[in-house]
C-alpha cells in the first residue's frame, strides 16, 4: 500500500480531491496527444511537460502507471465543430506529400522535442489510424444503444437524446440551454438533427484522401472518437486520470465522456480530469493560428525575433515548472533569464552535495524540509512551491559548503536522497552538457592552480586579474580553508 496524501484538482467536480486509484498500486492515465500536422510549439510542450511531472511523481510514489498518450494522425478537422478539411490531409495536399509522410515527419519532431525537454515516453503511444476497427466497433455500439444515427453516410452522436438522462455538460458545468443558444444553427451541416450533435464517423467526400471502408461506406473517424476508443482498449471502461490542455474540456473531452457513457453503460468512466492552463505571450494564448508561437528549437538557438538570446532546454523546463500547471504561464525574456539563473544555482548546489563535509550536529531540520517538499507535490503537483522548498535545500548546501552551517552524516544522506530524487527523478531536470562539464572542470582547475601559484609567489596582481577576468566570463572564485573552488554564475 502506498502511503501518501496526494490530492488532485478534478475539473469534473471542481474540487481538490484525495487521489484514490481504482486498483491499489496501479494508475491508468490517458493524455490527449498532439495532432501531427505541424511542429509542436512551446505551448503544446508545456502541456506535455506538465503531464510528464504527473507521470514521474506517480511513479516516484511507487505506483505502476500505464500512461497512454495518443498521436492524432487522422480525423482532426480544421474546426472543432466537424467542419473544414482534415488538418493532416490539408497539409499533405499543400506539400504534395502522402498524409503518412506528414504524420511521420511531425511525429519524429514531436518525439525530438519531448526528448530535449527530458520528458519520459508514455507507456503506450497509440495512433488514430492504427485503431480504425476499434472506432468503427464503438460507433456501432453507440448506435445499437440508441445514441447515434446515420445521415447520408455520416454517423452523428445524438446529444439531446443523451442529455435527457445524462449530464452532458458535467465537465464544464455549463448550462445546456445556454450552450444550445450559443451554438450556431447546425453550422451549415444539414445532415445533423441537433445543433450540438457531433460526428462519430464522417463520410469521405470524393477528394478526401484519408479514407477507410465501414458499414456506412468509405469515411474516416471523428476526432473525439479516437480517444474514447483507445482509452477503452488500453485502460478499460473505467480508469483513473484523463488529461489534456484546458481548451479541450468544453468540446473534445465533453464529447469523449458522452461517447464512453453511451457505449459502455458506465456513469462515470473517468475518476479524475486534469487540465493544464495555457502558455501565453503578452497574455494571449500561444497558438500557431495567432502567429505568436515559438518552436522549441527556436528557443534553443535564439533564432526568433522576440528572443533576446538562446535558452537551453533545461532552462525552459525550469521556467515551466516555476508556474503551477493550472495557472497561465506568460512567456518573457526576463522570466527566462531569471529561470536560467535559478537553474544554474540549483545545479551548482547539486554538484556540491556529494562532497559536503559532515559534522556531529545539524543546523537545519532536513526531515522538516522533506515533509514540506512532499506536501507541495501532494498538493496537486504544486511545482513552484516544491521548487521554493528545494531552494531552501540549496541554501543549506551552500551554507554547509561555506562552513557557515553544519550537517550530520545521516542528515546529509537524507538531503542527497531528497534533492536528487526530486530534482532529477520527479521534476525531470538534468545537468546539461555533461560531457563538457568535465572539460570545463579540468580547465578551471588548471587556471586555479596557476592562480594559486601566483599567490604563493605573492604576485597578487596576476591572481586578482585571473579572479576578475573569470568573474567577467561568469565564474566566481571562492578561497576557502579547503582550497579554492569555483561556481558558474
Q: Which residues between 249 and 278 bind ligand AMP (CB under 6 A)?
A: 276, 278
CB 127 within 8 A of CB 73: yes
Minimum distance between the CB of residue 330 and ligand AMP, rounded to whole angstroms? 11
Minimum distance between the CB of residue 227 and Zn ion, rounded to whole angstroms? 3
Residue 70 β-bridge partners: none
92, 155, 200, 227: which one binds Zn ion (CB under 5 A): 227
Minimum distance between the CB of residue 95 and ligand AMP, rounded to whole angstroms? 18
Give the number of residues in contact with ligand AMP, rule: CB under 6 A. 17
Give the number of residues in contact with Zn ion, rule: CB under 5 A. 2
Minimum distance between the CB of residue 146 and ligand AMP, rounded to whole angstroms? 31
Minimum distance between the CB of residue 124 and ligand AMP, rounded to whole angstroms? 17
Q: Which does 247 bind (CB under 5 to 8 A by kind): Zn ion, ligand AMP, none?
A: ligand AMP
Q: Which residues between 15 and 74 bind ligand AMP (CB under 6 A)?
A: 32, 34-35, 43-44, 46-47
Instruction: Tell me the C-alpha distance between 263 and 268, whole Å.
Output: 12
DSSP string, 79-136: ETTTEEEEHHHHHHHHHT--HHHHHHHHHHHHHHHHHHTTPPPPSB--BSGGGHHHHH
Instruction: Tell me the C-alpha distance between 14 and 216, whole Å.
Output: 40
174, 285, 372, 395: which one binds ligand AMP (CB under 6 A): 285
Q: Pick between residue 88 and residue 279 the one whose CB is nearest to ligand AMP.
A: 279
Tell me the window of 195-203, 221-229, 347-355, 401-409 that interacts with Zn ion (CB under 5 A). 221-229
Q: Is the dihedral of CA 127, 128, 134, 138 positive or negative?
A: positive
Residues with Cβ within 8 Å of residue 422, at least 6 apart in sequence: 373, 377, 386, 390
Distances (CA, A) of 21 to 2, 63, 69, 123, 271: 11, 9, 19, 18, 9
Minimum distance between the CB of residue 239 and ligand AMP, rounded to whole angstroms? 18
Contact letters for Zn ion, residues 171-210 (x by CB under 5 A): ----------------------------------------
Instruction: Tell me the C-alpha distance between 203 and 411, whole Å.
Output: 66
Minimum distance between the CB of residue 385 and ligand AMP, rounded to whole angstroms? 21
Minimum distance between the CB of residue 402 and Zn ion, rounded to whole angstroms? 51
Instruction: Tell me the C-alpha distance between 340 and 273, whole Å.
Output: 32
Q: Pick between residue 44 and residue 214 the one whose CB is nearest to ligand AMP.
A: 44
Residues with Cβ within 8 Å of residue 289, at least 6 apart in sequence: none
Q: Pick between residue 113 and residue 369 the one whose CB is nearest to ligand AMP.
A: 113
Question: Is 273 buried (19+), middle (13-18) or exposed (0-12) by CB count in 10 A?
Answer: buried
Task: Please report where in the chains the cell 510542450 appears, as a residue.
Answer: 45
CB 316 within 8 A of CB 299: yes
Pairing relationship of beta strands 154-157 and 198-203 according to DSSP bridges: antiparallel
Cell output for 50: 506538465
φ/ψ of residue 105, rounded to 5: -60, -50
Minimum distance between the CB of residue 293 and ligand AMP, rounded to whole angstroms? 8
Q: Which does 296 bind (CB under 5 to 8 A by kind): Zn ion, ligand AMP, none?
A: none
Task: For residue 457, give the H/E element and its range.
Answer: none
Residue 32 in contact with Zn ion, rule: CB under 5 A: yes
Minimum distance between the CB of residue 387 and ligand AMP, rounded to whole angstroms? 20
Q: Pick between residue 227 and residue 394 the one whose CB is nearest to Zn ion.
A: 227
Look at the chain and count its residues.
489
Q: Pick between residue 138 and residue 286 the one whose CB is nearest to ligand AMP.
A: 286
Instruction: Tell me the C-alpha distance between 328 and 286, whole Å.
Output: 11
Q: Pick between residue 202 and residue 350 the one whose CB is nearest to ligand AMP.
A: 202
Residue 319 β-bridge partners: none
Distances (CA, A) of 246 to 251, 304, 326: 10, 27, 9
Q: Which does 28 bind (CB under 5 to 8 A by kind): ligand AMP, Zn ion, none?
A: none
Q: Which does 46 bind (CB under 5 to 8 A by kind): Zn ion, ligand AMP, none?
A: ligand AMP
279, 316, 347, 373: which one binds ligand AMP (CB under 6 A): 279
Contact letters for ligand AMP, residues 76-105 (x by CB under 6 A): ------------------------------
Q: Pick between residue 244 and residue 393 the one whose CB is nearest to Zn ion.
A: 244
Secondary structure (3-state) at 427: coil
Q: Which residues between 287 and 346 bind ligand AMP (CB under 6 A)?
A: 287
CB 489 within 8 A of CB 476: yes
Q: Pick between residue 200 and residue 347 the one whose CB is nearest to Zn ion.
A: 200
Q: Which does 286 bind (CB under 5 to 8 A by kind): ligand AMP, Zn ion, none?
A: ligand AMP
Q: Pick between residue 206 and residue 283 the one whose CB is nearest to ligand AMP.
A: 283
Residues with Cβ within 8 Å of residue 338, at least 6 apart in sequence: none
**Other CB atoms within 10 Å distance of the CB of residue 441:** 12
Binding stretches for Zn ion (CB under 5 A): 32, 227
Binding stretches for ligand AMP (CB under 6 A): 32, 34-35, 43-44, 46-47, 244-245, 247-248, 276, 278-279, 285-287
Amino acid at each position: 500500500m502506498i502511503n501518501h496524501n496526494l490530492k488532485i484538482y478534478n475539473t469534473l467536480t471542481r474540487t481538490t480531491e484525495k487521489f484514490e486509484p481504482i486498483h491499489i498500486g496501479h494508475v491508468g492515465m490517458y493524455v490527449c496527444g498532439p495532432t501531427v500536422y505541424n511542429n509542436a510549439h512551446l505551448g503544446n510542450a508545456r502541456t506535455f511537460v506538465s503531464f510528464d511531472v504527473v507521470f514521474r511523481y506517480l511513479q516516484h510514489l511507487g505506483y505502476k502507471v500505464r500512461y497512454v498518450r495518443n498521436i492524432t494522425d487522422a480525423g482532426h478537422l480544421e474546426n472543432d465543430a466537424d467542419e473544414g478539411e482534415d488538418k493532416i490531409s490539408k497539409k499533405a495536399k499543400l506539400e504534395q506529400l502522402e498524409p503518412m509522410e506528414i504524420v511521420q515527419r511531425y511525429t519524429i519532431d514531436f518525439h525530438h522535442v519531448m526528448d530535449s525537454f527530458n520528458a519520459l515516453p508514455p507507456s503506450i503511444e497509440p495512433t488514430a489510424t492504427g485503431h480504425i476497427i476499434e472506432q468503427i466497433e464503438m460507433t456501432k455500439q453507440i448506435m445499437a444503444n440508441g445514441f447515434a444515427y446515420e445521415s447520408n453516410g455520416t454517423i452523428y452522436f445524438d446529444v439531446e437524446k443523451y442529455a435527457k438522462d445524462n449530464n452532458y455538460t458535467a465537465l464544464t458545468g455549463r448550462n445546456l440551454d445556454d450552450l444550445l443558444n450559443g451554438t450556431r444553427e447546425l453550422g451549415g451541416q444539414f445532415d445533423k438533427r441537433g445543433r450540438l450533435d457531433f460526428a462519430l464517423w464522417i463520410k469521405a467526400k470524393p477528394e478526401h484522401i484519408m479514407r477507410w471502408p465501414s458499414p456506412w461506406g468509405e469515411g474516416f473517424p471523428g476526432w473525439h472518437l479516437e480517444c474514447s476508443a483507445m482509452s477503452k482498449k488500453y485502460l478499460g471502461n473505467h480508469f483513473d486520470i484523463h488529461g489534456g490542455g484546458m481548451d479541450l474540456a468544453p468540446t473534445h473531452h465533453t464529447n469523449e465522456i458522452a461517447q464512453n457513457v453511451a457505449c459502455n453503460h458506465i456513469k462515470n468512466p473517468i475518476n479524475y480530469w486534469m487540465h493544464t492552463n495555457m502558455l501565453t505571450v503578452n497574455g494571449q494564448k500561444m497558438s500557431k493560428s495567432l502567429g505568436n508561437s515559438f518552436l522549441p528549437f527556436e528557443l534553443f538557438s535564439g533564432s526568433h525575433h522576440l528572443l533576446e538570446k538562446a535558452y537551453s532546454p533545461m532552462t525552459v523546463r525550469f521556467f515551466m515548472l516555476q508556474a503551477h500547471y493550472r495557472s497561465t504561464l506568460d512567456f518573457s525574456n526576463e522570466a527566462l533569464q531569471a529561470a536560467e539563473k535559478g537553474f544554474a544555482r540549483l545545479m551548482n548546489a547539486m554538484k556540491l552535495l556529494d562532497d559536503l563535509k559532515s559534522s556531529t550536529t545539524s543546523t537545519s531540520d532536513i526531515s522538516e524540509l522533506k515533509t514540506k517538499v512532499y506536501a507541495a507535490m501532494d498538493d496537486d503537483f504544486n511545482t513552484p512551491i516544491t521548487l521554493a522548498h528545494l531552494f531552501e535545500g540549496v541554501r543549506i548546501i551552500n551554507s554547509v559548503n561555506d562552513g557557515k552551517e553544519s550537517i550530520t552524516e545521516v542528515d546529509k544522506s537524507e538531503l542527497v536522497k531528497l534533492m536528487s530524487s526530486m530534482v532529477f527523478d520527479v521534476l525531470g531536470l538534468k545537468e546539461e552538457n555533461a560531457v563538457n562539464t568535465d572539460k570545463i572542470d579540468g580547465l578551471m582547475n588548471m587556471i586555479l592552480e596557476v592562480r594559486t601559484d601566483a599567490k604563493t609567489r605573492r604576485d597578487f596582481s596576476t591572481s586578482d586579474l585571473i579572479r576578475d577576468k573569470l568573474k567577467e566570463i561568469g565564474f566566481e572564485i571562492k578561497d576557502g580553508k579547503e582550497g579554492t573552488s569555483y561556481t558558474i554564475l
